[in-house]
């Protein structure tokens, strides 16, 4: 096993995911097999290789991709709160925040 049960629980904690016992078992197995598969990347010598930081190398047309930073009206406004499970305009409502 390249991944242990504690790792699965720790990662679920980091990702804010509540998992059932069945899911913990399932992901332990499946993540183990996926992680063992991706270990094939270790066959390559990547010491001198730069990680890919952007997909396209800058062409002249892309040299200055930023538009002028000018304020514009935000039209979404009140629509934004309409999707909230619970809201008291102009706020989103959430359960009590307790120290973890």
Whole-angstrom distance, CA of residue 25 vs CA of residue 8: 9
Whole-angstrom distance, CA of residue 11 vs CA of residue 94: 24
Phi, psi angles (nearest 5°) of residue 33:
-70, -35
Neighbours of 70 (CB within 10 A): 5
The label of the residue with tokens 């890919």 reads: 52
Closest separation between CB of residue 87 and another protein, Å? 9
Count of residues near another protein by CB under 8 A = 59
Footprint on residues 36-95 left by another protein (CB under 8 A): 37-38, 40-44, 46, 49-56, 59, 61-62, 65-67, 75-76, 79-80, 82-86, 92, 94-95
Residues that bind another protein (CB under 8 A): 3, 7-8, 10-12, 14-20, 23, 26-27, 30-31, 33-35, 37-38, 40-44, 46, 49-56, 59, 61-62, 65-67, 75-76, 79-80, 82-86, 92, 94-98, 100
């Amino acid at each position: 096993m390249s991944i242990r049960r504690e790792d699965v629980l720790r990662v679920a904690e980091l990702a804010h995911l509540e998992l059932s016992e069945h899911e913990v078992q399932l992901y332990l197995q499946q993540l183990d097999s996926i992680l063992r598969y991706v270990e094939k990347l270790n066959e390559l010598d990547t010491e001198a290789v730069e990680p890919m930081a952007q997909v396209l190398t800058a062409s002249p047309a892309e040299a200055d991709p930023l538009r002028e930073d000018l304020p514009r009206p935000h039209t979404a406004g009140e629509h934004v709160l309409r999707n909230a499970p619970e809201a008291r305009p102009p706020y989103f409502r959430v359960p009590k925040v307790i120290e973890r």
